Amino acid sequence: MTETVVSSATREVVIGFDRPFVIIGERINPTGRKMLAAEMAAGDFSRVEADARAQVDALHDVRARRDASGVRDALARVRQDAQTGVNVMPAIIAAVKAYASVGEITRELVDVFGRHREPIRF
Protein backbone atom coordinates (compact mmCIF):
# COMPACT_ATOMS: atom_id res chain seq x y z
CA MET A 1 0.00 0.00 0.00
CA THR A 2 0.96 3.60 -0.43
CA GLU A 3 2.43 5.38 2.55
CA THR A 4 2.75 9.11 3.05
CA VAL A 5 5.34 10.80 5.22
CA VAL A 6 4.09 13.94 6.96
CA SER A 7 6.76 15.98 8.67
CA SER A 8 7.23 19.21 10.52
CA ALA A 9 10.22 20.82 12.18
CA THR A 10 9.77 18.63 15.25
CA ARG A 11 8.00 15.44 14.18
CA GLU A 12 7.61 12.97 11.34
CA VAL A 13 4.83 10.40 10.96
CA VAL A 14 3.99 7.84 8.32
CA ILE A 15 0.35 7.42 7.37
CA GLY A 16 -1.30 4.89 5.08
CA PHE A 17 -4.18 2.48 4.74
CA ASP A 18 -2.33 -0.37 6.41
CA ARG A 19 -0.76 1.82 9.11
CA PRO A 20 -2.23 2.43 12.58
CA PHE A 21 -4.32 5.55 13.22
CA VAL A 22 -2.24 8.55 14.25
CA ILE A 23 -3.12 11.98 15.56
CA ILE A 24 -1.26 14.66 13.63
CA GLY A 25 -0.68 18.02 15.24
CA GLU A 26 -1.55 19.49 18.56
CA ARG A 27 -5.29 19.17 18.10
CA ILE A 28 -7.64 16.56 16.71
CA ASN A 29 -9.40 19.11 14.52
CA PRO A 30 -9.45 22.87 13.97
CA THR A 31 -11.92 23.44 16.79
CA GLY A 32 -9.41 21.97 19.26
CA ARG A 33 -11.95 19.91 21.16
CA LYS A 34 -9.91 18.65 24.10
CA MET A 35 -12.72 16.40 25.33
CA LEU A 36 -12.70 14.59 21.98
CA ALA A 37 -8.95 14.09 22.20
CA ALA A 38 -9.25 12.65 25.70
CA GLU A 39 -12.06 10.32 24.68
CA MET A 40 -10.13 9.04 21.68
CA ALA A 41 -7.01 8.49 23.78
CA ALA A 42 -9.18 6.39 26.12
CA GLY A 43 -10.50 4.37 23.18
CA ASP A 44 -13.97 5.96 23.18
CA PHE A 45 -14.91 6.84 19.60
CA SER A 46 -18.62 7.48 20.22
CA ARG A 47 -18.25 11.22 19.64
CA VAL A 48 -16.41 10.57 16.36
CA GLU A 49 -19.20 8.21 15.31
CA ALA A 50 -21.83 10.83 16.20
CA ASP A 51 -19.93 13.49 14.22
CA ALA A 52 -19.67 11.14 11.23
CA ARG A 53 -23.40 10.40 11.39
CA ALA A 54 -24.15 14.13 11.56
CA GLN A 55 -22.02 14.71 8.45
CA VAL A 56 -23.83 11.93 6.57
CA ASP A 57 -27.19 13.36 7.66
CA ALA A 58 -26.13 16.82 6.46
CA LEU A 59 -25.10 15.35 3.08
CA HIS A 60 -28.52 13.67 2.75
CA ASP A 61 -30.18 16.99 3.60
CA VAL A 62 -28.18 18.85 0.92
CA ARG A 63 -29.00 16.18 -1.64
CA ALA A 64 -32.70 16.42 -0.79
CA ARG A 65 -32.78 20.22 -1.17
CA ARG A 66 -30.58 20.67 -4.26
CA ASP A 67 -31.76 20.82 -7.87
CA ALA A 68 -31.22 17.21 -8.96
CA SER A 69 -31.40 17.96 -12.69
CA GLY A 70 -28.92 20.83 -12.29
CA VAL A 71 -26.49 18.48 -10.54
CA ARG A 72 -26.94 15.84 -13.27
CA ASP A 73 -26.25 18.43 -15.96
CA ALA A 74 -23.19 19.77 -14.14
CA LEU A 75 -21.78 16.27 -13.62
CA ALA A 76 -22.41 15.44 -17.28
CA ARG A 77 -20.40 18.52 -18.23
CA VAL A 78 -17.54 17.41 -15.95
CA ARG A 79 -17.51 14.04 -17.71
CA GLN A 80 -17.78 15.56 -21.20
CA ASP A 81 -14.98 18.06 -20.58
CA ALA A 82 -12.78 15.30 -19.16
CA GLN A 83 -13.44 13.09 -22.18
CA THR A 84 -12.71 15.85 -24.68
CA GLY A 85 -9.55 17.01 -22.95
CA VAL A 86 -10.57 20.57 -22.21
CA ASN A 87 -9.89 22.34 -18.92
CA VAL A 88 -12.21 20.66 -16.41
CA MET A 89 -11.95 23.34 -13.70
CA PRO A 90 -14.84 25.50 -14.96
CA ALA A 91 -17.07 22.40 -15.06
CA ILE A 92 -15.94 21.33 -11.58
CA ILE A 93 -16.66 24.80 -10.20
CA ALA A 94 -20.12 24.74 -11.80
CA ALA A 95 -20.76 21.29 -10.29
CA VAL A 96 -19.74 22.55 -6.84
CA LYS A 97 -22.06 25.55 -7.21
CA ALA A 98 -24.87 23.10 -8.09
CA TYR A 99 -24.09 21.28 -4.80
CA ALA A 100 -22.56 18.15 -6.34
CA SER A 101 -20.48 16.36 -3.73
CA VAL A 102 -16.75 15.82 -4.02
CA GLY A 103 -17.46 12.10 -4.32
CA GLU A 104 -19.86 12.61 -7.21
CA ILE A 105 -17.41 14.84 -9.07
CA THR A 106 -14.55 12.44 -8.38
CA ARG A 107 -16.61 9.51 -9.68
CA GLU A 108 -17.03 11.27 -13.03
CA LEU A 109 -13.29 11.93 -13.29
CA VAL A 110 -12.35 8.39 -12.22
CA ASP A 111 -14.74 6.93 -14.80
CA VAL A 112 -12.89 8.87 -17.52
CA PHE A 113 -9.29 8.82 -16.32
CA GLY A 114 -9.20 5.85 -13.97
CA ARG A 115 -7.69 5.83 -10.50
CA HIS A 116 -3.98 6.33 -10.02
CA ARG A 117 -2.22 3.42 -8.34
CA GLU A 118 1.24 4.17 -7.03
CA PRO A 119 3.58 1.39 -8.17
CA ILE A 120 5.02 -0.64 -5.34
CA ARG A 121 8.79 -0.44 -5.27
CA PHE A 122 11.16 -2.28 -3.01
At 97, the pLDDT band (50, 70, 90 cuts) reads: very high
Higher pLDDT, 60 or 23: 60
Strand pairing class (3-7; 12-16):
antiparallel
Average pLDDT over residues 47-63: 84
The predicted structure's pLDDT at residue 33: 66
Distance CA 8, CA 15 (A): 14
Give the span between the Cα atoms of 71 and 35, in whole angstroms.
Answer: 38
pLDDT at 54: 82
- Per the document, the length of the chain is 122
DSSP output for 50-117: HHHHHHHHHHHHHHHHS-HHHHHHHHHHHHHHHHHTS--HHHHHHHHHTT--HHHHHHHHHHHH----
**Domains in the chain: boundaries:** 3-63, 67-113
